[in-house]
Amino acid sequence: MPLAFDWTQLVQQTVIGLASGGVWASLAVALVLIYRSTGVVNFAQGEMAMFSTFIAWSLVHQGLSYWAAFFLTLAVSFVGGVAVERAVIRPVERAPELTVVIVTLGLFFVVNGAARWIWTPETRSLPNAFSTRPIDVGGVAFSIQDLGTIGVSLAAVALLWLFFRFTKLGLASRASALNPEASRLVGVRVSWMLALGWGLAAAMGAVSGMLAAPALASFDQNLMQPVLLYAFAGAVLGGIDSPLGAVVGTMLLGVLINLLGTYVDWIGSELRLPVALAVILGVLLVRPAGLFGHVAEQRV
Amino acid sequence: MRRITYLCAGVFGALALATVATGAASETGVTPTQILIGGTTPLSGPASAYQSVAKGAAAYFRYVNARGGVNKRRIKYVYKDDGYDPSKTVDGTRELVQQDKVFAIFNSLGTEHNLATRSYLNALKVPQLFVASGATTFGKEYKQYPWTIGYQPNYHAEGTIYGRYVAKTSPKTRIGVLYQADDYGKDLLGGLRSGLGKKAGLIKSKQSYDVNDPDVKSQVAKLKGAKVNTLMLFATPKFAIQSFVYAKALGWRPKVYVNAVSSAANIMGLATAATGKKHTEGSLSIVFLKDPTDVHWRKDPGTKLYRTIMKRYQGGNPNDVYAVYGMSAAHTFVAALKKAGKNPTRASVMKAATSLNVKNDPFLLPGMSVRTTKRDHFPLDQAKLQRYHAGRWVSFGGLFTVR
Amino acid sequence: MRRRSLGIVAWLVVVGAVLAAYALAPRLVSDFHSRNLAEAGIFFIAIVGLNLLTGYTGQISLGHGALMAVGGYTTAALVVHEHWRDVWTIPLAGVAAGIVGFVIGLPALRLSGLYLALATFAFAVAMPSLLKKFSGLTGGSEGLRLLEQAPLQVTGLSGTVTVLGHTTTQNHFLYYLAWGIGLLGFGLAWLLVRGQAGRTLRAVRDSEVAAASVGIDLAWTKTLAFALSGVYAGVAGALLAIQNEIVNPLSFTFLLSILILVGAVVGGLGSLPGMVVGAFFVEYLPDLSTRVSNAQGVPDFVYGAAIIASMLLLPNGAGGLLRRLARPLTTRLYLRP
């Protein structure tokens, strides 16, 4: 037994946590996108991402390479997201928020059920995008896969940021979210901006799923359910209206959960999640808008 | 003349009485043409993949019915959805007993689920047959619950097999255990300790995980950190595959024991594809069913029968070893029913189920028999060890019998 | 003078009809089916509680299933560990859940909307893990089985229940118990909502700043709303434990919280009568979904599609529809000179 503090273990668990967080980050960004455009948390985001992962699997099964399947799935998911918004969200655009939340809950079951019906519930796997050969740095092991996962998430967020900041469409989208009335007055098709938001979110969700499947070594229809929870928590921690916050939040959450599980013995496996969630709540009580979020002004 | 009349009347009367008597004494759920049994299984929700246990059994019953049934009765097998929620199991089971008036409860899935209904069924003297769970309690507590009987080799026994084997073949190794934090994982762990006996101290690290955890990366890292060189995977397929992959990612290659639930050939295939042959080579497990995805059984008549039944009687996905399990359980039920005679009662079927000696189950390993006695409520308590070699399981050694 | 008496007569007819339905319903269905009706009653209680919190006070809760777990486990623990009789545990279960609800309500003071949603969501998701952890009290992953303490229960293995010398089947007893408590809870909520308290709750829902500016103590109101709502959920959970005779972590997952929320929204937030519709919706929908087809995934698909369809057709829930239909009647009732 080492007498001195095992730094290797600490760094190792931190690295593992960052890699786990990297998987959840893209889904968290998807949640942020929907929240910014529609004002609710889309509880079906994880299932939509899972469905995209199955599409990717089918494409690979047909013979496409991983990356060809990846980009094709992104396109299909984008269209799917737009279609979902047009079909079930648009009709309740003006309804109370909770109505929309219930619709997303219904969507959760619809998408999950559809995925179980179309593809039988066998355990499958998606090929690795990156090499899984372990690289050892001073006793701490990680792989290109871990780096690649974090890298792809960050790249996706960066692309989104560029889109929102530097393109006309992105500007219109941001305007619609901030002030729909004024945007309509200057000619922005606000309704379609919402659909765009859902399309982009679906694509981000697909990224998350296609990273999660190889990172978790296998997948089935339950792939994204735990991920949704962590993504939600991470997004809120980072500030629900900030994509960068979502990425930082989930990575921090990943590290937190791993370190808690490693160093606090009484926690054990059953309590890692509740304790991590309690910590997040603690943060929110101090900073109600999350780390990077903005507190909205309250009009009477 | 009068005497003959009296004699005829007497015989006639006796016959009439006998007919009336047997008709009146007809058991719940039994008619001259049908016998109704029921169970619960998760048809919806996250555990719905396990419904193949029910579907495989249903297909087998359809096959038996197509060939005339048992004693001219067809077996009607009804299964209700419980969404893997024990309170729905209670509800569904009560409905089967009170409303549908089934003859027996058969093949209900889940440990907590069957525990939830056990007292009720035993109090009402309804047979709780061939519980689809590996928990030891279903066979062990027969004195308190004589109407309940399990089926598969129980988890404790499985762990004991591993423990004994390790104690015998690698008495100086360092053992690490990854186990699911519920009865299933704990049962396996308990069996392992039991099998190791005095060498229980070989277990140097135990890491548990919760089904809702997204991954077991940190647990595997901790096991490696404890310098373990024999790894026991008492985990479900998703986490078992992860363990292989994360071990490789950490540059660690222990000797692995995979519990039966996760040892199906397609699961091992996924693990091998993700890590390369080296990392799954030499893994050990036990086996008692003929895995339909195992090349070894492709030409086997039992497996061919299985595939034929699955196809013709809508059994579902034939590459699912759980369906084989269901079919074997159904086969055993039919054997018990036949043994119970022309007019089965709940008591007579229970008696038959606790005095089984079935040697011809086509879905179990050759040489295996389904045996029960009044004191042995474990129908299947045999298994073989198998070793994973060059991408396939190869069984070795003889049949272990463990209680 | 005539208007007033019309109002009173209408009231009496409605109340009479409700009581008649309550008394006679079990005779119209099979004995076992009374159990399903009883379960609808249990959901009704939880949904009314959630409606008070979300529909009237505007505080979202995604964790009502977890509050039901508190109630259910309180009952189970008292029966199994302390050998209480099952029905006598109901008030205590309600109080226990009410206390937990109060504690949950405390973060509501600082958080609102999305953040409260996350907090209650986290509570709901964490509940099974918490239940498994404290296994000495909760029985861990096996849960607690009340039936094994049968001799001491009001319900039990005999299949019949004798109350005050009157014997009835167990299923009928569960029905009368659940809906009896349900009607009581409904009446209480009705009185609350019609009075000063109701106005306070609605003020907080519509605008917290405005409410505070007229002197409403936001902290007390919110936490009390959570507590009261928790009491309802706890009672519902206790009844669930008594009906099923077991409690298990698998019965109190996030899915239960979703079910209660769906029931409240489909019933119509802010409408108490709508809650009956909501209760029957969540009671019968899962079963009907499996009847459509047994094929993999189809029950879940049908379940979700039905939920979406009901929201698209009735965005304000059944309550919204009921309100529109009943407008002529209620306008009369409330036009007092």
| pLDDT on residue B25 | 53
Q: How far is it, in rounded angstroms, from Cα C52 to Cα C201?
A: 8
Q: Which pair of structure tokens corresponds to residue B36? A: 């109704």
Q: How far is it, in rounded angstroms, from Cα A234 to Cα A237?
A: 5
Nearest to C297 among A108, A113, A300 (CB): A113
Tell me which chains share at least 3 CB pairs under 8 Å with chain B.
A, C
Please indicate whether, in this complex, the C-beta atoms of B217 and A116 are within 8 angstroms of each other: no
Please indicate whether, in this complex, the C-beta atoms of A281 and C316 are within 8 angstroms of each other: no
Task: Report the pLDDT averaged over residues C71-95.
Answer: 92
Q: How far is it, in rounded angstroms, from Cα B150 to Cα C116?
A: 46
The complex's ipTM works out to 0.88
Q: What is the distance in angstroms between the Cα of A43 and the nearest Cα belonging to chain C?
A: 11
Question: Which of A47, A108, A117, A123 is the best mutation test for B, with the most CBs of B within 10 A?
Answer: A123
Q: Which pair of structure tokens corresponds to residue C246? A: 């077991």
Backbone angles phi, psi at B347, to 5 degrees: -65, -40
Kindly give the parts of chain B with pLDDT less than 50.
13, 16, 18-24
Q: Closest chain A residue to B275 measured between Cα atoms?
A: A132
Strands B255-258 vs B230-234: parallel, antiparallel or unpaired:
parallel
Q: Closest chain C residue to B48 measured between Cα atoms?
A: C296
Percent of chain C exceeding pLDDT 70 equals 93
Sequence-distant (6+) residues with CB within 8 A of C199 are none
- b/e code C180-200 from CB counts within 10 Å (16+ = b): ebbbebbeebeebbeeebbeb
Chain B residues in contact with C33 (beta carbon < 8 A): 99
Q: Which of A190, A234, A239, A288 is nearest to A46 (CA)?
A: A234
| pLDDT on residue B4 | 62
Task: Report the pLDDT averaged over residues C59-79.
Answer: 93
Residues C257-282 have pLDDT tens digits of 999 999 999 998 878 788 999 999 99
3-class secondary structure, B232: strand
Query: How would residue A1 be classed by pLDDT, with cut points 50, 70 and 90?
Result: very low
Size of interface A-B (CB pairs under 8 A): 104
Size of interface B-C (CB pairs under 8 A): 93
Q: What is the distance in angstroms between the Cα of A181 and the nearest Cα belonging to chain C?
A: 22
Residue B95, chain C, CB below 8 Å: the answer is yes
Please indicate whether, in this complex, the C-beta atoms of A217 and B271 are within 8 angstroms of each other: yes
| pLDDT on residue C195 | 84
Is the pLDDT at C333 greater than 70? The verdict is no
Interface of C with B (CB under 8 A): 30-33, 35, 39, 125, 128-129, 132, 140-143, 145, 147-148, 150, 157, 171, 240, 244-248, 250-251, 253, 255, 286, 289-290, 294, 296-297, 299-300, 303
Is the pLDDT at A118 greater than 70? The verdict is yes
Beta bridge partners of C145: C246
Arithmetic mean of pLDDT over chain A: 85
Q: Which residue has tokens 């990846």?
A: A70
Chain C residues in contact with B188 (beta carbon < 8 A): none
- For residue A138, the 8-state DSSP code is T
| pLDDT on residue A299 | 44
Nearest to A92 among C60, C301, C312 (CB): C312
| pLDDT on residue B9 | 53
Chain B residues in contact with C240 (beta carbon < 8 A): 87
Q: What is the distance in angstroms between the Cα of A119 and the nearest Cα belonging to chain C?
A: 9
Q: How far is it, in rounded angstroms, from Cα C295 to Cα B172?
A: 51
Give the number of C-alpha atoms closer than 13 A to the C-alpha of residue B235, restricted to the C-beta side.
Answer: 30
Question: Which of C50, C109, C141, C311 is the best mutation test for A, with the most CBs of A within 10 A?
Answer: C311
Three-state SS string over chain C comes to: CHHHHHHHHHHHHHHHHHHHHHHHHHHHCCCCHHHHHHHHHHHHHHHHHHHHHHHHCCCCCCCHHHHHHHHHHHHHHHHHHHCCCHHHHHHHHHHHHHHHHHHHHHHHCCCCCHHHHHHHHHHHHHHHHHHHHCHHHHCHHHCEEHHHHHHHCCCCCCCEEEECCEEEEHHHHHHHHHHHHHHHHHHHHHHHHHCHHHHHHHHHHHCHHHHHHCCCCHHHHHHHHHHHHHHHHHHHHHHHHHHHCEECHHHHCHHHHHHHHHHHHHHCCCCCCHHHHHHHHHHHHHHHHHHHCCCCCHHHHHHHHHHHHHHHHCCCHHHHHHHHHHHHHHHHHHCCC
Chain B residues in contact with A230 (beta carbon < 8 A): 214
Please indicate whether, in this complex, the C-beta atoms of C145 and B116 are within 8 angstroms of each other: yes
Chain B residues in contact with C297 (beta carbon < 8 A): 48
Q: How far is it, in rounded angstroms, from Cα B142 to Cα B350?
A: 12
CA-based end-to-end distance of chain B: 67
Sequence-distant (6+) residues with CB within 8 A of B250 are A134, A141, B220, B221, B224
Q: Closest chain B residue to A273 measured between Cα atoms?
A: B213
Please indicate whether, in this complex, the C-beta atoms of A109 and C122 are within 8 angstroms of each other: no
Sequence-distant (6+) residues with CB within 8 A of B179 are B185, B186, B188, B189, B206, B207, B208, B209, B232, B234, B235
Q: Closest chain A residue to C265 measured between Cα atoms?
A: A99
| pLDDT on residue B282 | 92
CA-based end-to-end distance of chain C: 9
Distances, alpha carbon B192 to alpha carbons B183, B248, B260, in Å: 14, 25, 14
Q: Which pair of structure tokens corresponds to residue C294? A: 């047994």
**Range picked from A81-95, A153-167, B313-327, C63-77 for highest mean pLDDT:** C63-77
In angstroms, what is the C-alpha Rg of chain B? 24
Nearest to A122 among B207, B266, B275 (CB): B266
Q: Which residue has tokens 């969700």?
A: A205
Nearest to B270 among A17, A116, A123 (CB): A123
Please indicate whether, in this complex, the C-beta atoms of B112 and C250 are within 8 angstroms of each other: yes
Q: Closest chain A residue to C210 measured between Cα atoms?
A: A300
3-class secondary structure, B73: strand
Task: Report the pLDDT averaged over residues A101-118.
Answer: 93
Q: Which helix (H) or strand (E) holds B149?
A: strand B148-150
Amino acid (one-letter) located at A88:
V
Q: How far is it, in rounded angstroms, from Cα B84 to Cα B65?
A: 29
Domain boundaries, chain C: 2-334
Give the relative orientation of helices A45-62 and A7-38 as an angle to the nearest 10 degrees: 110
Sequence-distant (6+) residues with CB within 8 A of B376 are B139, B403
Chain B residues in contact with C157 (beta carbon < 8 A): 119-120, 123-124
Q: How far is it, in rounded angstroms, from Cα B300 to Cα B290?
A: 9
For residue C277, the Cα-to-chain-centroid distance in whole angstroms is 12
Strands C144-145 vs C160-163: parallel, antiparallel or unpaired:
unpaired
Chain B residues in contact with C148 (beta carbon < 8 A): 119
Tell me which chains share at least 3 CB pairs under 8 Å with chain C.
A, B
Give the relative orientation of helices C64-82 and C90-108 as an angle to the nearest 10 degrees: 140
Please indicate whether, in this complex, the C-beta atoms of A120 and B209 are within 8 angstroms of each other: no
Query: How would residue C97 be classed by pLDDT, with cut points 50, 70 and 90?
Result: very high
User: Which one of 1.10.10, 1.10.3470, 3.10.110, 4.10.860 gives the CATH number of domain A20-118+138-286?
Assistant: 1.10.3470
Query: How would residue C332 be classed by pLDDT, with cut points 50, 70 and 90?
Result: low
| pLDDT on residue B8 | 52
Residues C103-145 have pLDDT tens digits of 888 877 777 677 788 888 888 988 888 888 888 888 888 889 9
Residues C186-236 have pLDDT tens digits of 999 988 888 888 888 888 788 877 888 888 777 788 888 899 999 999 999
Chain A residues in contact with C129 (beta carbon < 8 A): 270-271, 273-274
Task: Report the pLDDT averaged over residues A262-271.
Answer: 70
Nearest to A230 among B214, B241, B270 (CB): B214
Chain A residues in contact with C304 (beta carbon < 8 A): 105-113
Chain A residues in contact with B250 (beta carbon < 8 A): 134, 141
Residue B182, chain C, CB below 8 Å: the answer is yes
Domain boundaries, chain A: 20-118+138-286
- For residue B150, the 8-state DSSP code is E
Is the pLDDT at A201 greater than 90? The verdict is yes
Question: Which of C115, C135, C288, C298 is the best mutation test for A, with the most CBs of A within 10 A?
Answer: C115
Is the pLDDT at C7 greater than 80? The verdict is no
Q: Which of B349, B368, B366 is nearest to B357 (CA)?
A: B368
CA-based end-to-end distance of chain A: 62
3-class secondary structure, A29: helix
Q: Which domains does chain B have, with CATH numbers?
A: 34-153+297-372 (3.40.50.2300), 156-287+385-401 (3.40.50.2300)
Q: Closest chain C residue to A268 measured between Cα atoms?
A: C133
| pLDDT on residue C42 | 96
Q: Which residue has tokens 């879905």?
A: B363
